[in-house]
């Protein structure tokens, strides 16, 4: 009889709910049982509540919670009677009072501290010291739509804490994570304001459409990058790497998920004001040494090209001869030195956080300024304001709001100048007084010496300005209702992220020489706005049945709307002076073809759920499911399940009392993840408007396409097997994971015959697999000294498994071929294998290939890939090309070390990678610019006579088509080892002036990336896509930091 | 009661939540900023011309490597020196590389024009069916002519090929290959279909699409196709019809024909149109003439940009012209550098050159020495003082002529000297009309050799006409010039490897 069940339910309910709730439920049951449907719901609710135990005699207990670290009180700690929903929170002084049964157990919880259990055993005063939870299994981590204790996880999640993130004095928070998370590759960019490239566990999509970056979830909102965040505003970052961790984010999860929680205040916390800042300089590192005038002249003379030697003569005529070597022109310009500068960087954050009995708050503002090391107006400035408020409106309702306003201004560098500088000839000065035609500055032009171009990078740097102003307003509001305290809750959150970009690209008029000039000033402006909305509704149920069965259920839905639009226009010949006149309105001409607009609007609707169960914290089961609906594709719905299993061996009898093993857990997971960063496809033929000149009149017509793509999201299937262990009282921790990810319907380009075009189809298969290891040792020696050593290591094998029957997909540029082939990495470098350099005439005469191709000593010998007798043997042609390596590192590692002695602490972090290849395209582009400069290594170590080199061709050879074929000579080793971060800090604690308590002060000195070791002949071994043409070099940063906690 | 209210609020929230869930329809929203072909209203008769303009747009937007690659191999022109794009220079030396990007780039870019021409025919047909636009057949015929011109050059360059029948490239996966002769016949038949539908005007007299295709264009393409087939009577008939129409005449000033006054000139039967719309800045449609231009110059109008130096009139041709005492056509066709002049003079027979030869053009631009080549092409040169003030790029605002009346006259004469009978006058008259403009004395009783020499002199550096003529006449010794050796197996370029990989038919083409 439903009626009787309801009434018996009610009895149970009344036994444990607070008085107020008794009334609620009385009314509720009366109201709810009126209709059969409502009865059912109410019945279910009761069932969920029934497992609670009753208790008898209560005693009143008081006590103080302090930190084991420094004995300071811990306000805002949760004090909970185990097995019930009864609990309280410590006040500002860390004190609490609770009424509990004499035979109960109290649990003390606080984020960042080890959860502690104390049996009451009739005590009325219980004082607790809580230890810092460096390696704690009790630590609570943020997971998708909820939190979990580390010990309950079955998945691969790595968390990075605020202190660790704050160590790196970088403007982009993700850059600070470089080398810290196993399985995550971060490739920094040296350009101010540029976001680093982040890849989690390889890359499962065909590269190049920016579809490889992970999903960032900041306090519940989805982002493609987090350039708007200030490092010191981040409380923690959780990187969800495997399928069970990430699958709850369904179609957005395939590239991994980075969950970011920003700082919040705490209940019953004294107001804390803190200042955190640094100021420092950035210095170019490993500056590529270019051939000087003498070496360059030498190369030109040896080139056998009359033109090249003529240019040298011209330079001597125009600028005079060097006094030290009269055969060399007087100028000896080190162009990289000319375009580099040391640049300042600074960051200042001010925050206030705290809380009363019902509300907590956190307010903050920060200012970041970073100059670029390229000597032009190249800088990044960001000003942030944030506020986060949580309010326990009633004992069953919590509401909160979170607002972040970020204003940033970026003056982008002219990366082309890095490229021009490489070829800039050293026999020319920067300024040439004789170049009287040049204006506004008298920059020298290599054209005046006979060269094909001006080869002066200052034109690009001085007469261009690319400004982007961005404003982002990210808001988040939520209401959380506890239907049953600590057991059944419902949370509805509404997130809105609004972004406004104003871009202004200006080209100022100038003249250096014929090939380097701009007569009319050009101005183009783009205004774009993006507005993304996510509304989440999540129901969470937590309970323990029959003491040993622990269950958490979560169900939710999410509505998503992403829209954006942009408008662009151009003006020519606008008033150059003053800057306030840089408007299209004031331009003489507004070309029609410079006007364009665009927009997109996509909707998503998702339902998801999670069940997490364990028996005695020993056997763990964790399952998630997400159904994602999307308007982006013709197919609307995708389903993404995952399951994880865990076995905590240390809870078993044979390990339970082990001294050595503190914790050991075996984990395994499987799941499917989606990637909807795949471009939307038309799914039908489209018609576009084009225009052309008919009788000198711009006339419009239409083009109807005959091919189109019909796409859907990619699905990644991932298996993860892991082991989590803690040894020697948690001092040693070791984690290991094996992962295997397979993108089953990767979008690849399928060639359309005879059009040079392709259509995209979900037909490729791409695999990524490898191991991840994490090791850490933490120890405290005496009361003054503690230290930590940690290491992480990742292996990666990226492999194309199927290309829809195609033999290969060509990528890169024709002259610098990158080929995607089954069994190899994506976009692997593809070309000839050199086999030394012909040293003398005898070697030439002995090799029919050399004779046939008219080679001379100093030319490359290429490996004939066909064996004798095989077709094609004895000829070097395109059939002799092979895979030359991939730009993905096969091994990445990080090592960190820190120690703290009294008031002094010190930390060091080292990172490195192996196995990646870099295409040195700067050298390669001699194909097009055969009279430019080259790096000193090449100029000095060239072949110039028998035995001088077996690696580099002769100067004449460099200019010859035979030696310019894409070969392993251009593909270099990208391995590196780097000291990523060194920090030394002094803390001033507990000091007074005239009896007044003074704030805690921390002074620090940080060296970011002070040393990088590598073999590659370039500025930096960090090249995101492996092709180094105009990579912005990554500077070392030296800063002084100051933290003051009032 | 207060709590009861709260419950109500929760219920509202839950209802809202469920109602959003019911909003599945948002998932069916159409993408923004896209016009689907299925949404076009084909009953709007006046819009039938839009797909045709699209076909012209695609035709005029041809990639810059196409024309040079397909016409570099004759003894009239060289590739410019080495140092960049080696395999382009190697092609000029008859060393072909099937993997060279320009082969694949040029073939696929030309095919793009063909597929869009088919798309135009299909779209215009839809307008015709829905709206009954009376001009639809003319538009379709124009697209056919554009397609024919492009397919003509693909076949001349690569030999056996496909005959596309629709705008869908995937049809080629199962299509068969035709021999060059079969394709030439197909083009001739296509032109027969198009001719009655086209306007019988000089393109410059058209009012709807000035400079577009007319009947004479189709006749000229028919003539070229039949020339390839050595069906000289067909050539004589088609060219004779153009001559008799009296709608074309030679531009008296040969030099200016290749400059701005040559735009939509009475002499032109087909040209690619470009413009900067008379404005010194802003919108511009242009061909990349820089490829053909000299690498260094001192232009009369300061700041005008120079070219890349990839198109060099051959010493063979210059000497041929000097032997003939040509001045007008030689001056128009060649930009001399001082280095080039002394290179000619190295040959004792040419130690003394006519006084007018200098590195300063008639228009006052000075061509400086540059390492890549001795000479640059004058036909692809626009004097800096003819640039619209404000414009800097080399050759901006210059059209690219495809078929000239001079070629029609010479094809007519060629057909007659090959034994065909003509109704539009004698071979002498046709040749002398061309010679008169070049200020040369008239000939009488012209032989086929005379006509071929005249073609060499008149059409050098344009569209590879010389190469295709010599191949057709099997004069391989003529093509074996300046150190090269030409043999019959070198007539066609190899199919680009990228296409062979996809279209297995190409590995086994029928013999031409």
Does residue B496 share a domain with residue B372?
no
Q: Give me B458's structure tokens.
A: 């008149």
Burial classification of residue A1037, based on how many CB atoms lie within 10 Å of its CB (0-12 exposed, 13-18 middle, 19 or more buried): buried
Under an 8 A CB cutoff, do B32 and A599 touch?
Answer: yes
Under an 8 A CB cutoff, do B107 and A754 touch?
Answer: yes
The secondary structure element, H or E, covering residue A334 is none
pLDDT of residue A753: 80
- Dist CA A891 CA A183 (whole Å): 10
Chain A contact for B38 (CB, 8 A cutoff): yes
Under an 8 A CB cutoff, do B112 and A756 touch?
Answer: yes
- 857-886 of A, contacting B, C-beta below 8 A: 877-878
Give which of B23, B18, B10, B34 is closest to A561, Cα–Cα: B23
Give which of B256, B262, B287, B257 is closest to B393, Cα–Cα: B287
Does residue B72 share a domain with residue B191?
yes
Question: Which range marks the domain in which residue B355 is found?
Answer: 294-382+391-396
Q: Of the residues B353, B369, B396, which one is the last residue of a structural domain?
A: B396
For residue A820, what pLDDT band results from cuts at 50, 70 and 90? very high
Q: Give me A541's structure tokens.
A: 């149920």
Give which of B41, B215, B212 is closest to B123, Cα–Cα: B41
For residue A766, what pLDDT band results from cuts at 50, 70 and 90? very high
- For residues A573 and A586, the answer to whether their CB atoms sit within 8 Å is no
Q: Which residues in chain A are closer than 8 Å to B36, comparing Cβ atoms? A: 682, 684-687
Taking 50 as the threshold, does the pLDDT of residue A43 lie above it?
no
pLDDT of residue A995: 82
Q: Least CA distance to A881: which residue of chain B? A: B99
Does residue B500 share a domain with residue B362?
no
Measure A763 CA to nearest chain B CA, in Å: 17
Q: Of the residues B396, B418, B444, which one is the last residue of a structural domain?
A: B396
Asked if the structure places residue B221 within a domain, the reply is no
Taking 80 as the threshold, does the pLDDT of residue A721 lie above it?
yes
- Dist CA A516 CA A455 (whole Å): 9
Phi-psi category of A1015—alpha, beta or left, where left has phi over 0 and alpha has psi -120 to 50? alpha
Please list the ranges in chain B whose pLDDT falls under 70: 1-24, 81-84
Q: Which residues in chain A are closer than 8 Å to B119, comparing Cβ atoms? A: 703-706
pLDDT of residue A5: 36
Give which of A1025, A735, A724 is closest to A888, Cα–Cα: A1025
Taking 50 as the threshold, does the pLDDT of residue A18 lie above it?
no
For residue A20, what pLDDT band results from cuts at 50, 70 and 90? very low
The secondary structure element, H or E, covering residue A443 is none
- Dist CA A324 CA A977 (whole Å): 39
Asked if the structure places residue B212 within a domain, the reply is no
The domain that contains B9 carries what CATH number? 1.25.40.890
pLDDT of residue B13: 60
- For residues A667 and A728, the answer to whether their CB atoms sit within 8 Å is no
Measure A514 CA to nearest chain B CA, in Å: 6
The secondary structure element, H or E, covering residue A20 is helix A19-32
Q: Of the residues B364, B396, B428, which one is the last residue of a structural domain?
A: B396
Does residue B171 share a domain with residue B43?
yes
Most confident by average pLDDT, A691-700, A873-882, B403-412 = B403-412
* Interface size, chain A vs chain B, as Cβ–Cβ contacts under 8 Å: 245
Under an 8 A CB cutoff, do A687 and B40 touch?
Answer: yes
- 171-210 of B, contacting A, C-beta below 8 A: 172-173, 209-210
Digit-coded pLDDT (tens) for A362-387? 999 999 999 999 999 999 999 999 99
Closest by Cβ to B86, choosing from A511, A519, A961: A961
pLDDT of residue B160: 95
Asked if the structure places residue B273 within a domain, the reply is no
- Dist CA A867 CA A368 (whole Å): 61
Asked if the structure places residue B272 within a domain, the reply is no
Q: Least CA distance to A397: which residue of chain B? A: B6
Closest by Cβ to A629, choosing from B24, B277, B302: B24
CB contact burial A345-356 (16+ within 10 A = b; e otherwise): bbbbbbbbbbbb
- 242-261 of A, contacting B, C-beta below 8 A: none
Does residue B45 share a domain with residue B159?
yes
The total number of structural domains in chain B stands at 2
pLDDT of residue A910: 96
Q: Give me B224's structure tokens.
A: 């070229």
Chain A contact for B53 (CB, 8 A cutoff): yes
Give which of B46, B106, B138, B113 is closest to A703, Cα–Cα: B113
pLDDT of residue A305: 82
Does residue B335 share a domain with residue B189?
no
Does residue B303 share a domain with residue B194?
no
Chain B contact for A490 (CB, 8 A cutoff): yes
Cis peptide before A599 (omega within 30 of 0): no
Asked if the structure places residue B424 within a domain, the reply is no
More confident residue, A569 or A11: A569
CB contact burial A702-741 (16+ within 10 A = b; e otherwise): bbbbbebbebbbbbbbbbbbbebbbbeebbbbbbbbbbbb
pLDDT of residue A931: 86
- Residue A639's beta-bridge partner residues? A627
Digit-coded pLDDT (tens) for A935-952? 999 999 999 999 999 999
Does residue B85 share a domain with residue B190?
yes
pLDDT of residue A185: 93
- Dist CA A478 CA A400 (whole Å): 5
Query: How many other β-carbons are positioned within 10 Å of the β-carbon of residue B196?
Result: 12
Asked if the structure places residue B71 within a domain, the reply is yes
| DSSP category for residue A925 | G
CB contact burial A826-851 (16+ within 10 A = b; e otherwise): bbbbbbbbbeebbbeeebbeebebbe
Token pair 């302090």 in the structure block, residue:
A66
Does residue B184 share a domain with residue B302?
no
Mean of per-residue pLDDT scores for chain A: 87
Asked if the structure places residue B163 within a domain, the reply is yes
pLDDT of residue A47: 42
Please enumerate in sequence order all residues whose Cβ is within 8 A of that of A609, keeping only pairs 6 or more positions apart, or say none.
A553, A554, A555, A556, A624, A625, A626
Does residue B496 share a domain with residue B370?
no
For residue A743, what pLDDT band results from cuts at 50, 70 and 90? very high
- For residues A672 and A243, the answer to whether their CB atoms sit within 8 Å is yes
- Dist CA A444 CA A435 (whole Å): 6
- Dist CA A699 CA B212 (whole Å): 13
Taking 80 as the threshold, does the pLDDT of residue A38 lie above it?
no
Taking 60 as the threshold, does the pLDDT of residue A10 lie above it?
no
Q: What is the CA radius of gyration of chain B?
A: 27
Under an 8 A CB cutoff, do B83 and A959 touch?
Answer: yes
- For residues A729 and A662, the answer to whether their CB atoms sit within 8 Å is yes
- 451-510 of B, contacting A, C-beta below 8 A: 497-499, 501-503
Digit-coded pLDDT (tens) for A321-344? 999 999 999 999 999 999 999 999
Measure B357 CA to nearest chain A CA, in Å: 24
Measure B58 CA to nearest chain A CA, in Å: 9
Asked if the structure places residue B373 within a domain, the reply is yes
**What pTM did the predictor assign?**
0.78
Does residue B498 share a domain with residue B366?
no
pLDDT of residue B58: 94
- For residues A263 and A362, the answer to whether their CB atoms sit within 8 Å is yes
- Half-sphere exposure (Cβ direction) of A690: Cα atoms closer than 13 Å: 25
For the CA atoms of B209, B212, B215, B219, the dihedral, rounded to the nearest 10 degrees, stands at: 180
pLDDT of residue A377: 93
pLDDT of residue B4: 58
Does residue B62 share a domain with residue B179?
yes
pLDDT of residue B492: 95
- For residues A748 and A206, the answer to whether their CB atoms sit within 8 Å is yes
Give which of A139, A151, A124, A254 is closest to A199, Cα–Cα: A254
Q: Which residues in chain B are closer than 8 Å to A590, comparing Cβ atoms? A: 282
């Amino acid at each position: 009889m439903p009626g009787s069940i309801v009434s018996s339910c009610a009895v149970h309910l009344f036994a444990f709910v607070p008085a107020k709730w008794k009334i609620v439920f009385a009314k509720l049951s009366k109201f709810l049982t009126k209709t059969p449907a409502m009865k059912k719901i109410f019945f279910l609710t009761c069932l969920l509540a029934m497992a609670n135990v009753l208790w008898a005699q209560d005693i009143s207990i008081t006590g103080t919670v302090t930190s084991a670290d420094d004995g300071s009180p811990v306000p805002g700690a949760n004090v909970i009677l185990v097995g019930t929903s009864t609990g309280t929170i410590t006040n500002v002084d860390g004190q609490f009072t609770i009424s509990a049964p004499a035979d109960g157990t109290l649990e003390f919880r606080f984020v960042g501290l080890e959860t502690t259990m104390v049996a009451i055993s009739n005590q009325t005063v219980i004082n607790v010291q809580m230890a810092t939870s460096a390696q704690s299994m009790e630590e609570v981590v943020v997971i998708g739509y909820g939190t979990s204790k580390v010990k309950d996880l079955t998945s691969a999640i790595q968390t990075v804490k605020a202190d660790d993130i704050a160590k790196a004095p970088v403007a982009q928070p993700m850059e600070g994570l470089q080398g810290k998370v196993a399985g995550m590759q971060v490739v920094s960019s040296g350009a101010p304001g540029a976001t680093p490239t982040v890849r989690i566990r390889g890359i499962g999509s065909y590269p190049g459409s920016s579809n490889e970056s992970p999903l960032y979830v900041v306090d519940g909102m989805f982002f493609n990058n987090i350039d708007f965040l200030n490092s010191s505003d981040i409380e923690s970052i959780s990187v969800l790497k495997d399928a069970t961790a990430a699958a709850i984010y369904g179609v957005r999860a395939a590239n991994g998920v980075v969950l970011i929680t920003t700082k919040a205040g705490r209940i019953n916390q004294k107001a804390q004001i803190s200042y955190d800042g640094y100021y420092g300089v950035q210095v170019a590192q490993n500056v590529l040494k270019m051939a000087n005038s003498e070496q360059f002249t030498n190369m030109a003379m040896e080139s056998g090209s009359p033109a090249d030697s003529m240019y040298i003569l011209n330079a001597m005529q125009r600028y005079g001869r060097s006094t030290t070597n009269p055969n060399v022109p007087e100028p000896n310009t080190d162009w990289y030195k000319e375009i580099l500068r040391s640049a300042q960087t600074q960051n200042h954050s001010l925050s206030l956080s705290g809380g009363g009995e019902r509300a907590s708050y956190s307010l903050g503002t920060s200012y970041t300024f970073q100059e670029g090391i390229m000597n032009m107006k190249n800088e990044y400035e960001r000003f942030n304001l944030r506020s986060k408020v949580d309010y326990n409106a009633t004992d069953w309702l919590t509401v909160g709001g979170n607002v972040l306003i970020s204003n940033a201004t970026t003056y982008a560098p002219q990366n082309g100048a890095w490229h021009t500088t490489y070829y800039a000839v050293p026999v020319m000065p920067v300024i040439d007084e004789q170049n009287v035609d040049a204006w506004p500055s008298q920059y020298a032009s290599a054209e005046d010496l006979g060269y094909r171009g001006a080869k002066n990078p200052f034109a690009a740097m001085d007469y261009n300005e690319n400004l982007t102003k961005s404003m982002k307003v990210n808001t988040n509001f939520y209401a959380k209702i506890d239907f049953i305290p600590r057991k059944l809750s419902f949370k509805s959150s509404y997130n809105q992220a609004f972004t406004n970009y104003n871009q202004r690209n200006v080209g100022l008029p100038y003249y250096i020489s014929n090939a380097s000039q701009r007569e009319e000033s050009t101005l183009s402006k783009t205004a774009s706005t993006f507005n993304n909305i996510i509304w989440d509704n999540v129901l969470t149920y937590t309970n323990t049945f029959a003491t040993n069965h622990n269950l958490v259920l979560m169900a939710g839905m999410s509505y998503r709307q992403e829209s954006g639009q942009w408008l662009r226009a151009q003006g020519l010949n606008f008033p150059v002076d003053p800057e306030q006149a840089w408007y299209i309105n004031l331009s003489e001409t507004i070309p029609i073809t410079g006007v364009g607009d665009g927009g997109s609007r996509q909707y998503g609707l998702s339902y998801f759920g999670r069940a997490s169960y364990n028996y005695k914290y020993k056997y763990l089961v964790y399952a998630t499911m997400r159904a994602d609906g999307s308007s982006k594709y013709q197919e609307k719905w995708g389903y993404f399940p995952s399951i994880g299993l865990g076995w905590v061996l240390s809870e078993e009898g044979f390990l339970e009392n082990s001294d050595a093993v503190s914790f050991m857990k075996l984990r395994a997971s499987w799941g499917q993840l989606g990637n909807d960063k795949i471009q939307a496809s038309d799914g039908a033929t489209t018609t576009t408007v084009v225009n052309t000149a008919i009788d000198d009149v711009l006339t419009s017509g239409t083009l109807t396409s005959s091919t189109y793509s019909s796409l859907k999201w990619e699905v990644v299937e991932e298996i993860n097997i892991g082991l989590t262990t803690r040894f020697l009282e948690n001092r040693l921790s070791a984690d290991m994971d094996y992962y295997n990810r397979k993108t089953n319907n990767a979008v690849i380009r399928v060639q359309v015959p005879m059009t040079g075009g392709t259509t995209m189809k979900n037909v490729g298969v791409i695999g990524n697999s490898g191991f991840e290891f994490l090791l850490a040792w933490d120890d405290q020696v005496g009361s003054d000294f503690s230290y930590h050593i940690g290491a992480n290591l990742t292996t990666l094998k990226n492999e194309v498994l199927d290309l829809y029957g195609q033999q290969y997909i060509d990528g890169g540029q024709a002259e610098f071929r990158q080929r995607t082939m089954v069994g190899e990495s994506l976009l692997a470098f593809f070309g000839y294998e050199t086999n030394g350099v012909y040293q003398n005439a005898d070697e030439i005469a002995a090799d029919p290939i050399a004779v046939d191709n008219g080679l001379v000593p100093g030319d490359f010998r290429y490996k004939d890939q066909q064996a004798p007798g095989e077709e094609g043997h004895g000829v070097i042609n395109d059939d002799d090309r092979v895979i030359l390596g991939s730009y993905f590192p096969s091994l990445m590692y990080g090592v960190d070390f820190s120690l703290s002695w009294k008031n002094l602490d010190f930390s060091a972090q080292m990172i490195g990678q192996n196995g990646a290849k870099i295409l040195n395209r700067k050298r390669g582009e001699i194909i097009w610019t055969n009279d430019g400069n080259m790096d000193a290594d090449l100029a000095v170590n060239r072949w110039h006579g028998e035995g001088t080199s077996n690696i580099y061709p002769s100067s004449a050879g460099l200019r010859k088509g035979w030696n310019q074929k894409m070969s392993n000579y251009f593909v270099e080793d990208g391995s590196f080892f780097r000291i990523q971060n060194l920090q030394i800090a002094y803390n001033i604690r507990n000091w007074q002036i005239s009896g007044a308590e003074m704030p805690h002060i921390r002074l620090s000195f940080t060296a970011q990336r002070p040393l990088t070791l590598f073999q590659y002949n370039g500025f930096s071994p960090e090249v995101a896509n492996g092709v180094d043409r105009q990579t912005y070099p990554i500077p070392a940063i030296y800063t002084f930091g100051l933290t003051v906690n009032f | 009661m207060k709590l009861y209210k709260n419950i109500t609020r929760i219920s509202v929230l839950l209802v809202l939540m469920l109602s959003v869930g019911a909003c599945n329809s948002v998932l069916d929203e159409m993408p923004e900023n896209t016009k689907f072909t299925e949404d076009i209203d084909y009953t709007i008769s006046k819009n039938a011309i839009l797909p045709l303009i699209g076909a012209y747009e695609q035709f005029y937007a041809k990639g810059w490597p196409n024309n040079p690659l397909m016409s570099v191999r004759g003894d009239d022109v060289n590739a410019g020196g080495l140092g960049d794009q080696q395999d382009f220079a190697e092609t000029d030396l008859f060393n072909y590389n099937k993997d060279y990007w320009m082969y694949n780039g040029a073939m696929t870019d030309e095919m793009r024009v063909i597929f869009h021409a088919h798309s135009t025919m299909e779209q215009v047909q839809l307008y015709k069916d829905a709206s009954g636009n009376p001009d639809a057949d003319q538009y379709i015929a124009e697209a056919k002519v554009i397609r024919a011109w492009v397919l003509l050059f693909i076949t001349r360059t690569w030999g056996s090929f496909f005959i596309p029948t629709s705008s869908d490239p995937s049809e080629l996966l199962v299509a068969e290959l035709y021999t060059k002769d079969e394709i030439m016949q197909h083009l001739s038949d296509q032109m027969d279909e198009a001719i009655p539908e086209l306007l019988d005007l000089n393109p410059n007299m058209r009012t709807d699409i000035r400079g577009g295709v007319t009947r004479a264009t189709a006749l000229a393409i028919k003539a070229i196709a039949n020339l390839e087939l050595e069906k000289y009577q067909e050539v004589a008939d088609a060219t004779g019809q153009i001559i008799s129409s009296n709608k074309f005449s030679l531009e008296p000033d040969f030099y200016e024909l290749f400059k701005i006054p040559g735009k939509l000139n009475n002499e032109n039967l087909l040209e690619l149109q470009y413009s900067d719309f008379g404005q010194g800045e802003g919108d511009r449609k242009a061909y990349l003439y820089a490829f053909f231009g000299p690498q260094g110059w001192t232009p009369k109008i300061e700041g005008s940009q120079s070219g890349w130096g990839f198109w060099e009139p051959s010493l063979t041709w210059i000497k041929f012209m000097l032997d003939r005492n040509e001045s007008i056509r030689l001056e128009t066709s060649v930009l001399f550098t001082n280095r080039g002049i002394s290179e000619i003079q190295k040959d004792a027979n040419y130690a003394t050159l006519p006084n007018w030869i200098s590195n300063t053009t008639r228009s006052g631009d000075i061509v400086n020495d540059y390492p890549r080549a001795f000479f640059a092409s004058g036909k692809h040169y626009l004097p800096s003082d003819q640039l619209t003030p404000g414009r800097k790029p080399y050759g901006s605002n210059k059209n690219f002529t495809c078929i000239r009346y001079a070629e029609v006259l010479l094809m007519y004469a060629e057909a007659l000297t090959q034994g065909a009978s003509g109704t539009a006058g004698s071979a002498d008259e046709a040749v002398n009309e061309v010679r008169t403009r070049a200020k040369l004395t008239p000939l009488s009783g012209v032989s086929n050799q005379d006509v071929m020499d005249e073609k060499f002199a008149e059409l050098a550096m344009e569209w590879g006409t010389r190469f295709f003529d010599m191949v057709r006449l099997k004069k391989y010794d003529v093509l074996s010039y300046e150190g090269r050796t030409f043999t019959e197996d070198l007539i066609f370029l190899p199919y680009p490897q990228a296409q062979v990989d996809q279209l297995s038919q190409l590995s086994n083409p029928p013999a031409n």
